[in-house]
């Protein structure tokens, strides 16, 4: 099975970065940056301009990432996307909701793989990675801050870095989330409980586990 010519970062990056954005979006309306949402099958992103992705975990530390990028993808048929894919990856892909789809990767044994046809059509770029956009996450959130001076941007980035670390270590709690939300405007509209509920579905809070698709 060929390795992809372009490979995304490890699935934990998409899960943690996108999941923190989904958590913040549940607690405060950040919809102008795109939609990050939890699904029954995993985590989903839509930039509202035709690009997006969905990532699902599968038992055994495996994952499937599929999506479409309007600047780099072209629609591919399922057999083009899944040539050589193991049965578990094909099953997971069929459970996902992306349409159209221009790329599909499956993660196993510590690396991404994809069908050769998906590489040849250059449909393998990933849109919507909040930490890989040439801007710090705080800069992307600037329009939502109570203050947008450099000191405030630095402070919110510090709090967001702490939030990302807490999510990755499964210890995100009300204090961690509240600290980040304090820097955003419209505090009266914030719903920390809704944010924590999303974080729990993603396995970010103490005692919670991320959703995984069971092996057939």
Q: In sequence order, what E strands does the chain have? A: 35-39, 42-46, 52-58, 62-68, 103-108, 111-113
The answer, yes or no, to whether residue 151 has pLDDT greater than 90, is no
pLDDT in tens, 58-92: 999 999 999 888 777 788 888 889 999 999 999 99
For residue 116, the model assigns a pLDDT of: 64
The answer, yes or no, to whether residue 32 has pLDDT greater than 80, is no
pLDDT in tens, 36-63: 888 888 999 888 788 888 999 999 999 9
**Tokens representing 38?**
């939890």
Where b means 16+ CB within 10 Å and e means fewer, 95-113 reads: ebebeebbbbbbbbeeebb
The answer, yes or no, to whether residue 137 has pLDDT greater than 80, is no
The answer, yes or no, to whether residue 118 has pLDDT greater than 90, is no
């Amino acid at each position: 099975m060929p390795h992809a010519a372009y490979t995304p970062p490890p699935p934990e990056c998409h899960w943690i970065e996108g999941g923190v954005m989904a958590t913040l979006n549940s607690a405060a309306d950040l919809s102008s940056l795109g939609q990050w949402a939890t699904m029954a099958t995993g985590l989903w992103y839509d930039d509202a301009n035709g690009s997006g992705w969905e990532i699902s975990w599968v038992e055994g530390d495996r994952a499937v990432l599929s999506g479409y990028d309007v600047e780099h993808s072209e629609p591919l048929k399922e057999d083009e996307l899944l040539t050589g894919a193991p049965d578990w990856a094909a099953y997971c892909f069929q459970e996902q909701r992306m349409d159209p789809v221009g790329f599909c990767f499956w993660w196993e044994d510590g690396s991404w793989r994809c069908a050769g046809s998906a590489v040849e059509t250059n449909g393998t770029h990933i849109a919507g990675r909040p930490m890989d956009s040439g801007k710090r996450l705080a800069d992307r959130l600037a329009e939502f801050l109570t203050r947008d001076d450099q000191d405030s941007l630095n402070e919110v980035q510090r709090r967001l870095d702490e939030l990302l670390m807490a999510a990755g270590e499964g210890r995100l709690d009300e204090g961690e989330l509240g600290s980040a939300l304090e820097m955003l405007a419209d505090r009266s509209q914030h719903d920390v409980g809704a944010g924590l509920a999303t974080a729990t579905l993603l396995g970010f809070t103490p005692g919670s586990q991320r959703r995984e698709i069971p092996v057939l």
